[in-house]
């Protein structure tokens, strides 16, 4: 392999691998928060339970500009969906919203 290509490959790996690890860790953090908040009592990742699966929710809001906002509202302030995340930390809430949308 030429030196330049090796360098490019190394850079890609140096950025990509840790990013992948961080993203995977965010999934685990989101799962943990959802479990802690009791969401998994009514929701499953891919199966219909009491409420829609996260896959179904992601499908519904795919491509919608306000999808993330709608989900966020549901799990933090909504009176209709009166079940909210235990965490009040913005970053953690965003992480959960991203997790749901990416199922």
Partner 1 sequence: MKDWSRLKLGIVVALVAAAATLVAVAGGAAGVVLTGTEQFCTSACHSMSIPAAEFKGTIHDTNRTGVRATCADCHIPHHSVVAMLMTKTQAGIKDVYGEITGVIDTKEKYEKQRYQMAVSVWAVMKQTDSRECRHCHTAAKMDPEKQSEGARKKHEALKTGGATCIDCHFGIAHSEPDGPGPQELKIAK
Residues 37, 44, 87, 92: which binds partner 1 (CB under 8 A)?
A: 44
* Stretch touching partner 1 by CB under 8 A, among 1-9, 13-21, 44-52, 60-68: 44-52
Segment 56-95, which members bind partner 1 (CB under 8 A)?
A: none
State how far the Cα of 31 lies from the Cα of 15, in Å rounded to an integer. 25
Residues 5, 50, 63, 65: which binds partner 1 (CB under 8 A)?
A: 50
Find, among 49, 69, 58, 66, the residue nearest to 103 by Cα.
58
Interface with partner 1: number of residues (CB under 8 A) = 9
């Amino acid at each position: 392999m030429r030196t330049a290509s090796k360098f490019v490959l190394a850079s890609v790996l140096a950025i990509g691998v840790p990013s992948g690890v961080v993203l995977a860790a965010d999934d685990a953090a989101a799962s943990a928060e959802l479990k802690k908040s009791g969401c998994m009592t009514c929701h499953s990742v891919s199966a219909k339970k009491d409420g829609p699966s996260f896959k179904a929710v992601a499908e519904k809001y795919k491509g919608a500009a306000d999808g993330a906002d709608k989900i966020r509202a549901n799990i933090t302030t909504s009176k209709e969906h009166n079940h909210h995340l235990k965490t009040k930390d913005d970053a953690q809430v965003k992480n959960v919203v991203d997790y749901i949308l990416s199922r």
